[in-house]
Amino acid sequence: MKQKNNNEKQTLSVGTQTHCPSLGQPQWLGKGFISLPKLGSVCSTVFCLFVMSFQVAAQNYPAKTVRVVNPFAAGGGLDAIFRPVMAKLSDNLGQTFVIDNRAGANGQIGTDLVAKAAPDGYTLLTGTTGALPMNAAMFPKLPYHPIRDFTTITNVVETAFLLLVHPSLKVARVEDLVKLAKARPEQMSFASFGQGSSAHLAGELFAISAKLELIHVPYKGSSAATTDLIAGQTQLMFDSLQSSMPHVRSQRLRAIAYAGARRTRVAPELPTMAESGYPEVVAGSWYGILGPANMPLAIVNKLHTEIVKATNAHEVKERLDNVGVDIILNPPQEFANTLKTDLDRWTKVVKQAHLQME
């Protein structure tokens, strides 16, 4: 069979002589076959080109507007944290990172939207403990898996909950609250911002740890739950610092403990739950950035670098400090490990409390 000259178009054909500059002389093994070593070389070449295309895409990324899905309502804690970060990211990269609020089903609607999006870096998620590991622990038929269906980029910040009580309760410490609740089994209620929400599971964890019989009252969101706690319709609640501190300062609510690993700089006088005798009651939320599964590593790395840079900008860091959150900014794999650890932990709590739902 005649050898193609160097001026002819060089292609790879199955069942004919083939030639590629990187593969040396062609080998013919009969109709429908080429030598496996050569095929392997072709695959390697194609793979290298594939990888190079993603590297070029990462260098040019972002080339258009990036949608950042917030799976909760506008105006909440996620907005307060991520809007300044995304604004700075937009300035630094010259493309808009726009927050798209897609609330519903305790964060499931927006989270599922990202899980099913193209893994090209143009649809991201502001993920939380509640929307990912806690939802997965509570709802076995969740339309997404919190680990398999996402690419972790970085855990931006973390915050723990305050244990809040209505001022009419004559308690100043967790010990006092536990004594009162044990004297009134199934008479005291705790509010949360939804069935299976982070506030709900925090309350259940406290009840399990202190061996209390409390009534759970779920609301549609933190605002409604807080309103009824202030009105005395419920007696206690776990809620975030950024949502609850204004009510604590105005004395409409009383904070008696902080459910973090260490005391918060926002209210350093408050003991932790561990200092109050309940070391296992560490509850709150992390707030991270994720994308759909199988995002190109080069884009993940670029996003991580740029998010760290944006978050550490003086004006952004100052705003986050004022909110009372702890800046984390860990690498993608470390964030993935946190997600898995939390999934295991909250699955255990859900089983102990017999909470799993269809």
Is 264 inside any structural domain?
no
The answer to whether 117 touches 123, Cβ cutoff 8 Å, is yes
| Per-residue pLDDT band at 275 (split at 50, 70, 90) | very high
Note the pLDDT of residue 304.
98
**Is residue 77 located within the same domain as residue 30?**
no
Residue 166: which domain range?
A: 160-258
Look up residue 244 and give its two tokens.
């609850």
At 22, the pLDDT band (50, 70, 90 cuts) reads: very low
Total number of domains in the chain: 3
Torsion of CA 113, 118, 122, 128, to 10 degrees: 40
Rounded CA separation 311/291 (Å): 18
Does residue 38 belong to any structural domain of this protein?
A: yes
Going by pLDDT thresholds of 50, 70 and 90, the confidence category of residue 7 is very low
Give the tens place of pLDDT for each residue, 219-266: 988 889 999 999 999 999 999 888 899 999 999 999 999 999 999 988
In a domain, 100, yes or no: yes
**Residue 144 dihedral angles phi and psi, to the nearest 5°:** -140, 155
Instruction: For residue 164, give Cα distances in angstroms to 16, 77, 178.
Output: 77, 17, 13
Angle, helices 241-249 vs 77-93, to 10°: value is 120
The verdict on 50 and 70 lying in the same domain is no
> Do 51 and 187 sit in the same domain of this protein?
no
Kindly report the CATH number assigned to the domain that includes residue 187: 3.40.190.10
Residues 151 and 171 in one domain: no
Choose the weakest-confidence range: 6-20, 78-92, 197-211: 6-20
The answer to whether residue 265 is domain-embedded is no
Average pLDDT over residues 172-183: 97
Question: What is the 3-state secondary structure of 303-327?
Answer: HHHHHHHHHCCHHHHHHHHHHCCEE
Ramachandran angles phi, psi of 146, nearest 5°: -65, -15
The answer to whether residues 128 and 189 belong to one domain is no
- 55-64, 194-203, 279-288: segment of lowest average pLDDT: 55-64
Pick the last residue of a domain from 258, 277, 307: 258
**Of the candidates 342, 42, 355, 19, which has an alpha carbon nearest to the alpha carbon of residue 192?**
355
Q: What is the rounded distance in angstroms from the CA atom of residue 358 to the CA atom of residue 140?
A: 7
The answer to whether residues 253 and 164 belong to one domain is yes
Ramachandran class of 251: left when φ > 0, alpha when ψ lies in -120 to 50, beta otherwise: left
**Backbone angle region of 212, left / alpha / beta, with phi > 0 → left and psi within -120 to 50 → alpha:** beta
